């Protein structure tokens, strides 16, 4: 009797497990260029119902990191939503040099597509390539793709000020992806639709950048920008470089929830939101500026409005929100140097020139008496050097390709700003488990990456930023350590301090939804969140 009773209990336990209530709406929020320490730095300036509410009512993973370099927007979004790294999903940078065509490739670019906008002739490019986009360069599925494969009645929509932020988050099977063009208008691609939905056409005729770019953007006596003048000088697209770019995106998200009736059925809908103004402003003014501080204070209010809308329409118990960032940011080297902290600026053009001269001298080819110069370096971008292997093979011999790689890798170590170098052969043939080598390897894709990969010293960025502003991309914690918060009815409240990787987000969300992991997933569920 006891045996049968035990069997009944087990059966009911499993039944309860598989019938566990799933969220009606998942909202994946990415804050572009949000370093982990921003939460602590701005905590006292936040209200109680934005970041603080998510953290206090949700699960805060305080030691979340990217496991690859370079850390950029495109790879970051692809990694968050695919659960893997560039070595697998293929988005190795925002733009990368293509070894076959010898041209630059944009991570979301697709010349076969057309711009979809509120224009007279649909399916036309309307004078720009801003809608010629798709996720076809991403080699794996996303959370949204797996959700659509699970049940085609689910709705998946991605939005961002940046095309790559919307597209790489939403994935291949999304119902829609919207982003803002240079004029401040919401557009899409023929990859997703043939025309904008009527509700969006009507909405942006009333709610557009002119609605927000009025009066002043200021903070105490620190700065004071005239929004009317900025709009008059630069047009509606300038909203991206103000905190109101995040606000207009938040308002679009709320409109989408209403008009698309997200979370209104028995299935799970998925909305991805990538707040980009933080990145535009962060690049321009730096992470220690009052401009970035004010931007996060305003973003906190935007999050409050979004959470309130979700609570009132869908409900906390029916919702899953996760919030993270696509990368961090380095402090301006000029600021570091003022404080006697190592850092500086390097000149990419000089390095290319130096390598060409070095290899010419090493091989004594071409003969300088010929009066002809040959470029051994085809491209230097994303900390990667691409050699002209055809030139080397055809004129020196196949064996000189590997010799050139090794010579370049050793030669580059003479520069103060370079910490380590790796050849493509090393990254392909070895398995690295220790930092920083493992991060370099997970950012390396055999088909798309260069011949020599450079790992910089901390605090060094390209010479182009010497006049002001800063950037990101390295393997150091200021670029790789990001916040991660889960919030909603199925989330176990608390915090986790063990090391977690961004690639763990997707399998965690998929586990909560009871769907398959993305097909290239290499992350693991965060069981502290789900149990």
CA neighbor of 113 nearest in space, from 99, 100, 129, 98: 129
Distance, CA of 21 to CA of 36 (rounded, Å): 32
**Residues paired with 189 in a beta bridge:** 115
Residues 6+ apart with CB under 8 A from 481: 35, 36, 63, 64, 65, 328
Taking the CA atoms of the chain, what radius of gyration do you get in angstroms? 24
Which positions are annotated as active-site residues?
A: 73
If phi > 0 it is left, if psi is from -120 to 50 it is alpha, else beta; for residue 214 that is beta
Task: Give the C-alpha separation, 115 to 127, whole Å.
Answer: 9
Q: Are strands 176-180 and 186-189 parallel, antiparallel or unpaired?
A: antiparallel
Query: What is the end-to-end Cα distance of the chain in Å, rounded?
Result: 31
Residue 157 has φ and ψ, to the nearest 5°, of -135, 135
DSSP strand pairing (59-65 vs 494-496):
parallel
Distance between CA 133 and CA 115 in Å, rounded? 8
Main-chain phi, psi angles of 460, to 5 degrees: -105, 135
Cis, peptide link before residue 461, omega less than 30° from 0? no
Strand order in the sheet with 384-387: 377-381, 384-387, 452-456, 418-423
The angle, 0 to 180 degrees and rounded to 10, between the axes of the packed helices 277-285 and 290-313 is 170
Are 86 and 442 in contact by the 8 Å Cβ rule? The answer is yes
Is the sign of the CA dihedral 38, 169, 101, 132 positive or negative?
negative
> Do 213 and 236 form a contact (C-beta atoms < 8 A)?
yes
Pick from 491, 483, 472: which is nearest to 69 by CA? Answer: 472
């Amino acid at each position: 009797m006891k045996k049968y009773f035990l069997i009944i209990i087990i059966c009911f336990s499993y039944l309860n497990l598989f019938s566990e209530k799933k969220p009606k709406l998942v909202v994946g929020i990415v804050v572009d260029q949000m370093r982990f320490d921003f939460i602590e730095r701005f905590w006292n300036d936040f209200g109680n119902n934005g970041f603080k509410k998510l953290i206090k009512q949700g699960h805060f993973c305080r030691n979340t990191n990217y496991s690859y370099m370079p850390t950029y927007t495109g790879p970051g979004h692809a990694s968050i939503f695919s659960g893997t790294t560039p070595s697998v999903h293929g988005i190795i940078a925002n733009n990368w040099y293509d070894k076959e065509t010898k041209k630059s490739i944009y991570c979301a670019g697709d010349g076969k597509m057309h711009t979809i906008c509120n224009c007279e002739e649909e399916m036309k490019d309307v004078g720009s390539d801003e809608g010629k986009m798709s996720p076809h360069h991403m080699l794996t599925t996303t959370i949204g793709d797996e959700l659509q494969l699970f049940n085609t009645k689910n709705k998946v929509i991605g939005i961002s000020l940046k095309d790559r932020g919307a597209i790489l988050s939403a994935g291949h099977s999304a119902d829609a992806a919207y982003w803002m063009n240079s004029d401040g208008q919401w557009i899409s691609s023929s990859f997703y639709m043939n025309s904008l939905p009527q509700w969006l056409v009507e909405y942006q005729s009333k709610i557009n950048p002119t609605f927000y770019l009025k009066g002043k953007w200021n903070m105490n006596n620190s700065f004071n920008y005239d929004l009317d003048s900025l709009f008059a000088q630069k047009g509606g697209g300038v909203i991206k470089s103000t905190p109101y770019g995040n606000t207009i995106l938040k308002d679009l998200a709320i409109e989408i929830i209403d008009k698309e009736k997200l979370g209104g059925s028995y299935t799970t809908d998925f909305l991805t939101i990538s707040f980009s103004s933080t990145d535009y402003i962060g690049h321009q003014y730096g992470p220690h500026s009052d401009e970035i501080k004010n931007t996060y204070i305003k973003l906190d209010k935007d999050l409050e409005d979004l959470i309130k809308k979700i609570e009132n329409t869908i409900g906390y118990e029916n919702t899953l929100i996760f919030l993270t960032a696509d990368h961090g940011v380095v402090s301006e080297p000029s600021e570091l140097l003022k404080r006697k902290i190592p850092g500086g600026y390097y000149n990419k053009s000089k390095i290319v020139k130096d390598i060409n001269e070095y290899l010419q001298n090493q091989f004594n080819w071409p003969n300088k008496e010929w009066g002809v110069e040959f470029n051994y370096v085809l491209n230097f971008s994303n900390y990667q050097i691409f050699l002209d292997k055809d030139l080397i093979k055809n004129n020196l011999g196949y064996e000189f390709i590997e010799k050139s790689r090794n010579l370049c890798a050793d030669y580059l170590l003479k520069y103060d700003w370079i910490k380590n170098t790796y050849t493509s052969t090393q990254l392909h043939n070895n398995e690295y488990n220790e930092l920083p080598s493992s991060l370099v390897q997970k950012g390396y894709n055999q088909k798309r990456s260069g011949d020599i990969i450079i790992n910089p010293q901390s605090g060094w960025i390209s010479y182009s930023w010497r006049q002001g502003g800063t950037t990101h991309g390295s393997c150091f914690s200021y670029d790789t350590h990001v916040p991660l918060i889960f919030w909603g009815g199925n989330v176990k409240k608390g915090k986790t301090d063990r090391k977690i990787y961004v690639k763990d987000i997707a399998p965690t969300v998929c586990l909560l939804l009871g769907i398959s992991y993305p097909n290239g997933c290499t992350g693991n569920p965060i069981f502290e969140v789900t149990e």
